[in-house]
């Protein structure tokens, strides 16, 4: 059976992407085609400019989310980056069996950097490929995009981030030994090993949910198929409070993510945690003493799930 396909990097697999996939499936059903999602192994900017933006999803997370929407093919971007739009259309038509290409509303492809959709239409007609433009997904009158979500995250607007993603933003990592200041204050914290390629929310204190998994488990294990259009579904989490920053009260010189789990007893070393960010509580600040810090942490815990 011939294919209808769409293509993009799809970082975050957010509501805009899922709106596109819904249109893809509707077209496939109406025209009796097989739907396929084409994406890339690496962010195009990594090869084009030498620097990719911090990712909303790791490769494994993105793969796991995309697989909720059907057949997914990862392309080696280095192998196709020099192709013009016409060459790429010929490739997917002749090598991949694509009959119809559904383009994202603001998506562009091809080394010749075509400007408008009508230019793609002309080339598609020339090579015998049917092409359609997807409808735009708007939230509050503004298009949903990965770049918009990154800006909101940098502004600590995690509620809006989660709203545009359609699921709760999460970061996973193994537990490392820290300075144990939290334990001395009566609020033991897990110091999380950070992935430099994954975007962290802005520095500050957050109400979170924490999921435990064996350290050897793949990070994509937190994403399971659900009945809610691919929204991640997880086991019952612990409630917690997380701090992102440099912990200025104790004089750290590096960025860290530390999380205190409410009602948890036991040793977290050797575990891998997934921290889901629910609400921003306050900015990080330097306190005059450890006693003041202890009082503020107690207030953070009280307010996080009030």
* pLDDT score for 196: 85
Domain range for residue 278? Answer: 167-304
Condensed to tens digits (0 to 9), the pLDDT of residues 233-258 reads 446 789 999 999 987 777 676 889 99
The reply to whether 148 falls in a domain is: no
- Cα–Cα distance between 202 and 222 in angstroms, integer? 23
CATH code assigned at 180 = 2.40.30.30
Count CB-CB contacts under 10 A for residue 156: 21
Same domain, 12 and 63: yes
- Cα–Cα distance between 290 and 247 in angstroms, integer? 11
The reply to whether 84 falls in a domain is: yes
Question: Residue 133: in which H helix or E strand, if any?
Answer: strand 130-133
Q: Is residue 89 within 8 Å of 101, Cβ to Cβ? A: yes
What does the block give as tokens for 108? 């562009």
The reply to whether 101 falls in a domain is: yes
DSSP β-ladder status, 34-40 and 3-7: parallel
Q: Is residue 133 within 8 Å of 106, Cβ to Cβ? A: no
The reply to whether 47 falls in a domain is: yes
* pLDDT score for 184: 62
Same domain, 34 and 120: yes
* pLDDT score for 46: 85
Same domain, 290 and 196: yes
Helices (H), the chain: 15-31, 44-48, 59-66, 77-80, 85-94, 117-127, 146-154, 158-165, 181-184, 290-304
Same domain, 10 and 87: yes
Same domain, 129 and 178: no
Question: Which among 74, 90, 86, 70 has a CA at the least distance from the CA of 28?
Answer: 70
CATH code assigned at 28 = 3.40.50.620
Question: How many domains does the chain contain in total?
Answer: 2
- Cα–Cα distance between 152 and 140 in angstroms, integer? 14
Residue 302 backbone zone (phi > 0: left; psi -120 to 50: alpha; other: beta): alpha
- Whole-angstrom CA distances from 132 to 52, 103, 121, 167 are 29, 6, 8, 28
The reply to whether 255 falls in a domain is: yes
The reply to whether 145 falls in a domain is: no
Counting as low any pLDDT under 70, the low residues of the chain are 180, 182-184, 186, 214-235, 251, 253, 306
The reply to whether 156 falls in a domain is: no
The reply to whether 160 falls in a domain is: no
């Amino acid at each position: 059976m011939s294919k209808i396909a769409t293509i993009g990097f799809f970082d975050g697999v957010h509501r805009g992407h899922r709106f596109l996939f819904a249109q893809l499936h509707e077209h496939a059903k109406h025209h009796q085609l097989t739907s396929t999602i084409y994406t890339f192994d690496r962010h195009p900017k990594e090869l084009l400019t030498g620097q990719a933006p911090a990712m909303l999803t790791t490769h494994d997370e993105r793969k796991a989310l995309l697989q909720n929407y059907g057949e997914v093919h990862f392309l080696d971007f280095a192998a196709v980056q020099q192709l013009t739009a016409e060459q790429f259309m010929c490739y997917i038509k002749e090598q991949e069996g694509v009959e119809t290409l559904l383009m994202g509303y603001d998506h562009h492809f091809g080394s010749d950097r075509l400007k408008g959709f009508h230019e793609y239409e002309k080339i598609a007609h020339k090579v015998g490929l049917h092409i359609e433009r997807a409808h735009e997904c708007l939230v509050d009158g503004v298009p949903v995009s990965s770049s918009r979500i990154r800006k909101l995250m940098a502004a600590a607007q995690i509620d809006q981030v989660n709203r545009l993603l359609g699921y709760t933003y999460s970061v996973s990592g193994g537990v490392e030994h820290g300075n144990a200041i939290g334990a001395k204050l009566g609020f033991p914290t897990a110091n999380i090993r950070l992935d430099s390629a994954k975007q962290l929310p802005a520095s500050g204190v957050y109400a979170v949910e924490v999921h435990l998994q064996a350290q050897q488990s793949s990070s994509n294990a937190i994403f399971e198929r659900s009945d809610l259009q691919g929204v991640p579904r997880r086991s019952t989490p612990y409630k917690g409070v997380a701090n992102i920053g440099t912990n200025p009260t104790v004089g750290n010189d590096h960025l860290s993510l530390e999380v205190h789990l409410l009602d948890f007893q036991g040793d977290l070393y050797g575990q891998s945690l997934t921290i889901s960010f629910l609400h921003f509580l306050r900015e990080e600040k330097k306190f005059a003493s450890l006693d003041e810090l202890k009082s503020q942490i107690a207030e953070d815990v009280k307010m996080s799930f009030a």
